[in-house]
Chains A and B, each alone.
Chain A
């Protein structure tokens, strides 16, 4: 157990629907990063939050949004889902506003049918 909790582990939904993925960072970590990993692909950075504030955006689609709450958990909202959104979604946390020392969760596998 890495200490980073992601729920749900699996999600199957239809095209056009909206889903919310949840991430609880490791205790004491203020930064949360979201990554998308498609089949046999690398890790595509989506967005970074630090202590509730958005710090950086990657190749995140306009249909996707995220936020980090006062208790530091984060949610990634994916709307108007398309087949191509099927992927593993990982969050990672770190203690500071810096990338070193990332700890990843076990991911949410999203399948859009």
Chain B
């Protein structure tokens, strides 16, 4: 069975500083990995996704993530955050064995401080 662990439940960060959100997954087969962002009182918006190919994936709003198969990780990074990046971030995995059932991590709340 697939599972996703987001190691940090909250990450406070100052404006213009870099941020990294950690995500580890467990799955025995090929996986499709996602990062979604949820702003307060909003739905989920896709930031980026990985299926195959280059392990460095670039997404919207300056975010990028790196797929590391040996470490089963898919960490999200942004070199310089803005106040507007304050939100909840969810890592999710989908694999063949589970059809298209997305399994979400517990979420990481990013609080950007001025």
Are A and B interaction partners?
no
